[in-house]
Chains A and B, each alone.
Chain A
Amino acid sequence: MFDDLDPKDFEETAREVMEACAATDDLAARASTLAEAGLLGVIAPEAVGGLGLPARFAVPILEAAGAGLLAFPLIEAMLLSEALAHAHPEMASALVSGETIATIAWLGTEADGIVAGAPRGEGAEHLLVFRADGSAVLTETAGLSAQLSDQLDTDFASATLRLAGPLTGLELSPDAVATLKDNAQILRAAFIAGSTASCLKQACDLAQDRVQFGRLLSSYQALRHRLARDLLALETMRMGVTRALSNPGEAAPMARRAAWLGAARMGPACAESAIQVFGGMGFTWEVPLHRHLRQMRTLAIQGQAAASVSALAETLISGSSNQWYEEVPDVV
């Protein structure tokens, strides 16, 4: 299936769409632009107006969004249109067509009374809020008070929202929420790869243009090796995403986790590296590298990367399933 299509076919379109989105301040206009190009529904079923393509087709779109600093809850639109397609097809259709905009409060639960980490939470009409029992509810944002979550987050403009009592709206089961969170790992990793690629390109371009001590910056081995390491990080991220999407059987959960946690660690480090290559200019607001750094750090926070590494550490030392060592006594 899909043999006549290649995910690369979306690259050019996606880049143009991200440029168009960057040229407008209007969130609804960005939704229309993305929807008209079919980018919001690329992985949503055809029944709700999507293209019904496998997740690997979302990768070049998310990379373009990351590179283009897209100020829109694209990951959330993709995840929600897929998650709602069967139980709530009308809402999924509205998301795919860009008629309505939904986001997800990645941090906190309904019981907390306050949730956070919702990209464009102040402009979206619907908000998915997680519940302590693992389920979630998609509620309307009208009447909720929203404020920006974080200084370290300009383009996503993640919001903190104060909830006014128990929420009503479309329900997602714990299983559906678990799947959504699992898929989010890969979409975020792809987004970070795009952001990283942009940082690396900007750093390489500057290094091959700027002359210091009578030589191009790119002639200095210290900088060449730094940039080479950043490329290694970028390609490692991309291969991690590719592998996680190619269904390596029982290894799949770990492959997805590694792709996500690897990207969450390496992406911001590449942005930091690009800032260093730019020198003093890298520390200015005008050079957009800080926006990439903020964007990637925000994704890491929304995906709770630091806590996930701790959870992985716990699982790791809780014992190995490698049959070769099963004779070693376990006393813990």
Chain B
Amino acid sequence: MTTAPKDPGAYGAMARTWLQQNLTGNLRTDRVHETPATLDELKAFEAAMHRAGLAGITWPKAYGGHGLTLREHLEANREIGLAPAPNAVNSIGKELAGPIIQAVGTEEQKLEYLPKILTMENVWCQGFSEPGAGSDLAALRTRADRTSDGWVVNGQKIWTSGASKSQRCLLLARTGVKEDRHKGLVLFAVPMDTPGIDTREIRSIEGHRHFCEVFFNDVVVDEANMLGAPDEGWSAATRVLSIERASNRMYRSWRFESELDHLITACRSDARTYAILQGYARDLAEVRIEIELLKGHVETLVEALLAGEEIGPSGSLPKLYWSEAHQKFARIAAEIVARFPTDAGQPLLDAKARMEAIYLASRAETIYAGTTEIQLDIIAKRILNLKKAA
């Protein structure tokens, strides 16, 4: 890793300037657009973010990254969060597959996969959950059998975000029987255009068709696409996952702050909505406190990672905290915008559309990446070490 810039905040200032110049038009999420940004436009923006140094910040230069530290990553993410920027199309590639490949991949795999994640040539999806293995991931049944041609995969995945638009799938499959639970699991980087893969979109409550079911029927996967040896890949991946659960979308608390800023600013554009806002001022102050405390979770984590500490089960703390804090904000925001007058002006209509979308999308936040109940179980069992029997 190279050393940090001498002037603290310089990296963030660079990111802010770049965003002010490049986050324009229909890329902005704080306005209703007649022509929403297309997938290609979003991918182009994300690739440009990488070239400007706003993505792949901590990845080694040899693999297309910028070779900096989590400190610069945090600085840039503060600015990304404060801006009304779209969520990354390739967050699975950048925040899940990429770090796992860096941890367990061969040198050839790193050179093959990693740069294309950052240039957006390869968008990745995550093939972990199954109809019978959601929160209970170890119950997964998708099988991988070794043959003379490599591996043959059969099974079904679900909740695979963005699968229909992805080039690669980070696939978790089983080499043994279901009863083996955490043993005999193997990780693959599967090209999504491999014959035998069938993708079906699922409409989610916001009306989007982002989620998918993915069916694998006698899909042949080359040995070269296996990440780590069976078992080994998964155990390394779980370590990466515990970090990712805690640190992905590091911009989150600043994004929540930005959403709150937007709501308040919009309400101040009309005396009638300002009067409504006043009635919620104390509730919003509580939300603002929670957003600030969430920054404490994030920054503590960054310091711990920089100090080389293990994250382990404590990654459940920020996940639980941010998901519930955001839902609380979203519920209040939805109630406020529902009271906007029928002849509301454009700034209010923009805010209303955004807050309604946030409200619906936030319902998923206490479900994905380990439900609230799973996080509470992890905290009780693995941090508090509470006994179940004497």
Residues in A lying within 8 Å of B, measured CB to CB: 204, 207-208, 211, 215-216, 218-219, 221, 224-225, 227-229, 231-232, 235-236, 239-240, 242-243, 246, 248-249, 251, 254-255, 257-259, 261-262, 265, 309-310, 312-314, 316-317, 319-320, 322-325, 328-332
- A52-B95 Cα distance, complex, nearest whole Å: 43
Q: Which residue of B lies closest to A239 (CB)?
A: B296
**Does the CB pair A329–B347 fall under 8 Å?**
yes
- Set B274, B285, B383: member contacting A309, Cβ < 8 A: B285
- A251-B292 Cα distance, complex, nearest whole Å: 9
- A231-B381 Cα distance, complex, nearest whole Å: 12
**Does the CB pair B266–A239 fall under 8 Å?**
no
Residues of chain B lying within 8 A (CB to CB) of residue A265 = 286, 289
Nearest chain A CB to B4 CB, angstrom units: 15
B186 proximal to A (CB < 8 A): no
**Does the CB pair A314–B281 fall under 8 Å?**
yes
B328 proximal to A (CB < 8 A): no
Nearest chain A CB to B183 CB, angstrom units: 27
**Does the CB pair B285–A313 fall under 8 Å?**
yes
Residues of chain B lying within 8 A (CB to CB) of residue A249 = 8-9
**Does the CB pair B293–A319 fall under 8 Å?**
no
**Does the CB pair B264–A319 fall under 8 Å?**
yes
- Set B270, B286, B289: member contacting A331, Cβ < 8 A: B270
B99 proximal to A (CB < 8 A): no
**Does the CB pair A325–B30 fall under 8 Å?**
yes
Q: Which residue of B lies closest to A237 (CB)?
A: B293
- Set A240, A316, A330: member contacting B285, Cβ < 8 A: A316
If over half of A's interface residues share one DSSP class (helix, strand or loop), that class is named, otherwise mixed; here it is: helix
Given contacts A325-B266, A328-B269, 16 further A-B contacts (CB under 8 A): A216-B387, A224-B376, A224-B377, A224-B380, A227-B384, A235-B314, A239-B299, A240-B292, A242-B296, A309-B282, A313-B281, A316-B285, A317-B278, A323-B20, A330-B268, A331-B274
**Does the CB pair A329–B83 fall under 8 Å?**
no
Residues of chain B lying within 8 A (CB to CB) of residue A255 = 292, 295-296
B138 proximal to A (CB < 8 A): no
Mind listing 15 A-B residue pairs with CB under 8 Å?
A207-B386, A219-B388, A225-B377, A236-B297, A243-B300, A246-B299, A248-B295, A249-B8, A258-B296, A259-B296, A309-B285, A310-B285, A313-B281, A313-B285, A324-B84
**Does the CB pair B386–A218 fall under 8 Å?**
yes
Closest 7 CB pairs of A and B: A258-B292, A239-B296, A313-B281, A228-B379, A313-B285, A224-B380, A320-B261
- A162-B324 Cα distance, complex, nearest whole Å: 46
Known: A224-B376, A232-B320. A239 touches B285 (CB 8 A): no
**Does the CB pair B289–A262 fall under 8 Å?**
yes
Residues of chain A lying within 8 A (CB to CB) of residue B320 = 232
Residues of chain A lying within 8 A (CB to CB) of residue B219 = none
**Does the CB pair A310–B299 fall under 8 Å?**
no
Most buried by A among B82, B269, B384: B384
Interface size on B, residues (CB 8 A): 57
Q: B residues 59-75 with Cβ under 8 Å of A?
A: none
Counting residue pairs across A and B whose Cβ atoms lie within 8 Å, the total is 165
Known: A309-B285, A330-B265. A232 touches B317 (CB 8 A): yes
- A248-B387 Cα distance, complex, nearest whole Å: 39
Nearest chain A CB to B197 CB, angstrom units: 39
- Set A232, A246, A248, A313: member contacting B321, Cβ < 8 A: A232
Residues of chain A lying within 8 A (CB to CB) of residue B300 = 239, 242-243
Q: Which residue of B lies closest to A308 (CB)?
A: B285
Nearest chain B CB to A87 CB, angstrom units: 33
Residues of chain A lying within 8 A (CB to CB) of residue B269 = 328-331
Residues of chain B lying within 8 A (CB to CB) of residue A229 = 376
Nearest chain B CB to A106 CB, angstrom units: 21
**Does the CB pair A231–B389 fall under 8 Å?**
no
- A249-B271 Cα distance, complex, nearest whole Å: 34
**Does the CB pair B384–A204 fall under 8 Å?**
yes
- Set B257, B261, B286, B386: member contacting A227, Cβ < 8 A: B386
Known: A225-B373, A225-B380, A239-B300. A328 touches B265 (CB 8 A): yes
- A216-B281 Cα distance, complex, nearest whole Å: 43
**Does the CB pair B384–A258 fall under 8 Å?**
no
Known: A211-B390, A328-B269. A231 touches B384 (CB 8 A): yes
**Does the CB pair B265–A204 fall under 8 Å?**
no
- A175-B288 Cα distance, complex, nearest whole Å: 27
- A97-B390 Cα distance, complex, nearest whole Å: 48
- A317-B288 Cα distance, complex, nearest whole Å: 11
Q: Which residue of A lies closest to B266 (CB)?
A: A328
Nearest chain A CB to B45 CB, angstrom units: 16
- A259-B386 Cα distance, complex, nearest whole Å: 28
Q: Which residue of A lies closest to B257 (CB)?
A: A322
B262 proximal to A (CB < 8 A): yes
- A319-B285 Cα distance, complex, nearest whole Å: 13
**Does the CB pair B284–A316 fall under 8 Å?**
yes
Nearest chain B CB to A276 CB, angstrom units: 16
Residues of chain A lying within 8 A (CB to CB) of residue B164 = none
**Does the CB pair A324–B258 fall under 8 Å?**
yes
Residues of chain A lying within 8 A (CB to CB) of residue B380 = 224-225, 227-228
Residues of chain B lying within 8 A (CB to CB) of residue A221 = 377
Q: B residues 15-36 with Cβ under 8 Å of A?
A: 20, 30
- A202-B277 Cα distance, complex, nearest whole Å: 42
Residues of chain A lying within 8 A (CB to CB) of residue B295 = 243, 248, 251, 255
Known: A218-B386, A328-B266. A312 touches B296 (CB 8 A): no
Residues of chain B lying within 8 A (CB to CB) of residue A243 = 295-296, 299-300
- Set A204, A240, A310, A323: member contacting B296, Cβ < 8 A: A240
- A324-B379 Cα distance, complex, nearest whole Å: 38
- A322-B78 Cα distance, complex, nearest whole Å: 12
**Does the CB pair B268–A225 fall under 8 Å?**
no
Known: A243-B296, A331-B268. A325 touches B262 (CB 8 A): yes
Residues of chain B lying within 8 A (CB to CB) of residue A207 = 386
Known: A309-B285, A331-B270. A254 touches B388 (CB 8 A): no
